[in-house]
Structure 1
Amino acid sequence: MGDRPHVVHDGRENAPPLLLIHGSGASGATWGPMVGALAARHHVIRVDLPGCGQSPPAPSYAVPAQADRVAGLLDDLGLRDVAVAGHSSGGYVATALAERRPDLVGSLALVSSGPRLDALRPQPLILRALLSPPFGPLLWARRSDATIRRGIGATTARPVAVPDDAVADLKRISYRTFREVLRRNAEYLAERSAPERLAVLGVPLLVVFGAADPRYEPSSAHQYEVVPGARVELLPGVGHLPMLEAPEATSELLLGFTA
């Protein structure tokens, strides 16, 4: 039991399942502003990936290994043909889940998931400072709630209200784990881009991107159009965190897609 991921359930358990996977270093709490709308029609399952939020560390943070942990969770819950949504690098875990266990994934929605490494923009100064040696580990250890909120704000295109539980969860991840997660994400994309992986899977795909995303070049979202039948939606005036910046619009897109 001690190595199982932390999970939060919302909505009726007999409703169609919708799994939400967060991005690097975050937790299921980042989906909080959308849960009410989604849970009205779905059994919403929010998972904290290994080493993130309230989940314990793992021997490996490779994307396929993280996907295997999520697959084990769905197996334990007895779920199949699940709608899966991943934010940012959570989209890579969702993609790997579909690659490795196609029986578990009925559809995929990727929110702000950069398609390739070269779609990444220069990172905000506060994030570079927190992640760059030799001072990064020291700054990381001294992060305050205000610093975390500033870091989150650097990835958005508009002021956002960050849930307190999301801030608390972000404080839990260690510097070493976060750096390893980022390294493994890059390794996964360098091996093969997300659109290339998805193009051969035949899974229904929705891609949601903020048209003002400061982390990934917004126009790169159209690279997913190589996936047969993919639907690509750009949200005007939204940055890297649509679930916090435009929860209503993002929820409507997800609900329309899963319907």
Structure 2
Amino acid sequence: MTVSEGGPYASGEAVGSALELGGGERIHVCQDGPRDAPVLLLIHGSASSTRSWDQLVPLLTGVHRVVRIDLLGHGRSDKPDDGTYAVTDQAHRAGEVLDRLGVGHAVVVGHSSGGAVAVALAEQRPELVTALALINTGPGLHAFIATGAAAAGPAQWPPSDEQLREFASSGFSRAGYEIPDELLADARRMTLHSLTSSMGATRTYLEQQPLPDRLTVLGKPLLVLFGEDDRRWRSSSAADYAVVPDAEIHLLPGLGHSPLLEDPPRTAEPLLGFAAVQGVRAE
């Protein structure tokens, strides 16, 4: 394993490190909070990065060790043109990161397509994943709102600032939301191959089997948070997760696809309550 310290991000952001995994791929990792506290693993969505969690992390670290990763093809992780971006491969890398960090159990939190990676990790490593929390993760392709910039990325890459902002705009509840420059910068660092391959991989995973069906078999505790004004996935589809035994489903009025950015405190409250219950169950 090779570990190298990365330089600091924007003001107030954690310093990360790069882990070289068994396949030679370098994955960027951030850690915050007490090292002996229960672990939350945060997995971002397509065309995003660890930075998408920046505002939420300080609300979680009082009682949790928070681990964030840039999936292959995203953020500061490698973006190989010959790499595989399948959801199952991304999940395998996430599990390897936790192994390298000495983490034996974690509540895994996924935003948007990161939720599919979280589910795949639980399928592969049920002993590692204590519970799952999905934030605005569509249960299946039937729930996808295939309009505008949400349906396809920019036709050219790298895109202009205007194209990139239009592409990202549907990730929020209202027009004119000021998307953090750091997130736009990380999206711009992606290659066209890593972007289209990652988005296609999520589509393939959902085509194979809807997430509620996978979760019902897994039997893991589940929290579903969904901004009611999501412009990428129909928020009514959150009800599909009700087939999962004892699933907790919370709709967040006035918020869109990215409640972790739009209203971190409202996102953190149910997440912390859910994670606390899992800690009690584990004792």
| TM interval, short-chain normalised | over 0.9
Residue 205 (structure 1) aligns with: 222
Residue 261 (structure 2) aligns with: 244
Aligned length: 251
More helix by share: 1
The farther-off stretch of 154-163 and 181-190 is 154-163
TM-score (norm. length: structure 2)? 0.85
Distance 1:60 1:218, change over 3 A: same
The farther-off stretch of 85-94 and 244-253 is 244-253
1:36 counterpart = 2:58: yes
Residue 155 (structure 1) aligns with: 171
Separation in 1 of the partners of 2:152 and 2:133? 31
2:70/2:76 contact within 8 Å kept: yes
Deviation string, structure 1 residues 95-146 (Cα, Å, up to 9, x no partner): 000000111101100000000101001232x455744xxxx02xx32322x5
Residue 6 (structure 2) aligns with: none
Structure 2 residue corresponding to 1:99, chosen from 123, 128, 133? 123
Deviation string, structure 1 residues 155-202 (Cα, Å, up to 9, x no partner): 211354433322221111111211111111111011100000000111
2:228/2:253 contact within 8 Å kept: yes
Separation in 2 of the partners of 1:45 and 1:104? 14
Structure 1 residue corresponding to 2:185, chosen from 140, 145, 168? 168
CA shift, 1:22, in A, is: 0.2
Q: RCO higher in 1 or 2 (8 Å CA, sep ≥ 6)?
A: 1
Separation in 2 of the partners of 1:205 and 1:20? 15
1:156/1:213 contact within 8 Å kept: yes
Structure 2 residue corresponding to 1:24, chosen from 32, 39, 46? 46
Give the unaligned 5+ runs of structure 2.
1-19, 277-283
2:172/2:255 contact within 8 Å kept: yes
Residue 143 (structure 2) aligns with: 119
1:161/1:244 contact within 8 Å kept: no
3-state SS of the aligned residue for 1:200? helix
Residue 79 (structure 1) aligns with: 103
TM-score (norm. length: structure 1)? 0.92
What's the C-alpha RMSD, in Å, of the aligned pairs? 1.5
1:116/1:194 contact within 8 Å kept: yes
Separation in 1 of the partners of 2:45 and 2:74? 10
